[in-house]
Amino acid sequence: MFIDENSSDENKSDISILTRDQQILLYTIDYLTKWVRGGDHFLQIPEERTWIKELPLWAVIYYQIVKGTYETYDYAPTSIQFFGRSSFTVNLSYEGVDDIEDLRELEIIDKIRLSTSQHGFVTAYRITDYGNKLLVLIPKDVKDEVHGLFYCEHCKTHLNFLMNIGDEPEIKIDCPECDVSDFELAFLESEDVSYISEPYFLRISKKLVG
């Protein structure tokens, strides 16, 4: 089931091994897998912790970049193939993708890649036991900043995260009270772009098998 290989044996227990951006990312994954429920964002495996799927995690990272959360992350329109579909374009953060991989190599998060009858392959992440030990060491100001982004800035209601994978894929982050949803069009771009020659999916696949 797992494709993790060549993991590090290092087991440092100092949060300073992580940059501030990596701490934000780690706490975000923790928040998503523990406190956000419902929808098609998660893999629920009996007797296991919840896993956050890759595409909604990328969308949340994009949302956080737009909100100015990260010091070093940027994003770029990138053509990806997902769930066996033809390619479509998302605003993907390469720094975020790299840090996800770094956290996995440090055994702070687990990665799973499952074959599903509906959507082809699905990749998802969750926090490891070691990652949970590091979580308590994350500074309060980092946690507060991440936490704050999951609440509506107008009415303080917890935001909804909606993900639809169909003929017209959409990912929305919106407030159930204010009807504010300004992120759905920003992360997923419907028109095809021809200026990126290598679908990102292929690069990930090489890592998985290599």
Contact set with Zn ion (CB under 5 A): 152, 154-155, 157, 175, 177-178
Q: How far is the CB of 176 from Zn ion (least distance, A)?
A: 8
**Angle 20-35/94-105 helices, nearest 10 degrees?**
80
Residue type, 191: E
Cα-to-chain-centroid distance, residue 19: 17
Q: SS3 for 164?
A: strand
179: left (phi over 0), alpha (psi -120 to 50) or beta: left
DSSP 3-state helix, strand, coil percentages of the chain (rounded to 5)? 35, 20, 45
Q: Where are the alpha helices (DSSP H) in 158-199?
A: 184-187
Cα angle 18, 21, 25 (rounded to 5 degrees) comes to 90
**Tokens encoding 163:** 């993900």
Query: CA separation (Å) from 137 to 36, 101, 177?
Result: 22, 21, 34
- Measured distance CA(14)–CA(154) in Å, rounded: 37
- Comparison of 144 and 177: residue with beta carbon closer to Zn ion: 177
Q: How far is the CB of 45 from Zn ion (least distance, A)?
A: 33
